[in-house]
């Protein structure tokens, strides 16, 4: 499967693209020294028992890039923002019953992050090129916030980078 370019429109059914886009609300602050590209994504932690936390994920490229395991977080959103200046792959499927025929594959540029909406199926972290760090913003709190599904060998998808 060849990846699509990651755009806000194409990714909208799955969440937000986090980038300093010309279409974002831009606010001049700090006496004109800073532009705030405002509210690019909202952190969803569900009810009042969840809290948002910041973590760093250090991931290695999958080789060969065979997509086999998808997961979802039923209790909150999860954002990934690249810190190592490298692109990465984003494989998603709509929330609800997992439908392998509905899988979409995107290639995120080094300046683009993604925020998976609550319940959206996504493959685990897919860095490209070399081990890479990502800032992750997600939910901590009580409850089981991880569902996982594994495709059979016949359904696994070979991703192009």
Contacting positions for a second copy (CB under 8 A):
18-20, 24, 29-31, 33-43, 45, 48, 51-60, 62, 69, 79, 81, 83, 85, 111, 113, 115, 124-125, 133, 135-137, 140
**Strand duo 104-108 + 4-5: pairing:** parallel
**Rounded Cα gap, residues 86 and 69, in angstroms:** 22
Q: What is the DSSP letter of 112?
A: -
Instruction: State the minimum distance, in angstroms, from the CB of residue 93 to a second copy.
Output: 17
Instruction: State the minimum distance, in angstroms, from the CB of residue 64 to a second copy.
Output: 13
Nearer to a second copy, 111 or 155 (CB): 111
**Rounded Cα gap, residues 108 and 155, in angstroms:** 24
Q: How far does CA 123 lie from the centroid of its chain?
A: 9
**Rounded Cα gap, residues 82 and 92, in angstroms:** 18
Nearer to a second copy, 36 or 74 (CB): 36
3-state secondary structure of 102: helix
Nearer to a second copy, 96 or 161 (CB): 161
Nearer to a second copy, 70 or 97 (CB): 70
Nearer to a second copy, 2 or 32 (CB): 32
Shortest CA distance to 47 belongs to which of 71, 12, 74?
Answer: 74
Instruction: State the minimum distance, in angstroms, from the CB of residue 13 to a second copy.
Output: 19
Instruction: State the minimum distance, in angstroms, from the CB of residue 26 to a second copy.
Output: 9
CB 56 within 8 A of CB 133: yes
Instruction: State the minimum distance, in angstroms, from the CB of residue 39 to a second copy.
Output: 5
């Amino acid at each position: 499967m060849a990846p699509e370019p990651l755009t806000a429109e194409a990714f909208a059914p799955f969440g937000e693209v986090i980038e300093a886009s010309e279409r974002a609300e831009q606010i001049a602050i700090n006496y004109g020294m800073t532009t705030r590209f405002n509210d690019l994504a909202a952190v969803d932690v569900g009810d009042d028992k969840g809290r948002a936390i910041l973590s760093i994920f250090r991931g290695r490229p999958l080789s060969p890039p065979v997509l086999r395991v998808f997961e979802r977080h039923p209790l909150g959103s999860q954002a990934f923002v690249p810190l190592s200046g490298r692109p990465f792959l984003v494989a998603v499927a709509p929330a609800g019953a997992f439908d392998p025929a509905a899988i979409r594959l995107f290639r995120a540029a080094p300046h683009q992050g993604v925020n998976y909406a609550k319940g959206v199926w996504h493959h685990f972290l897919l860095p490209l090129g070399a081990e890479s760090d990502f800032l992750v913003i997600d939910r901590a709190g009580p409850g089981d916030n991880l569902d996982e599904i594994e495709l059979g060998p016949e359904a696994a998808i070979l991703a192009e980078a």
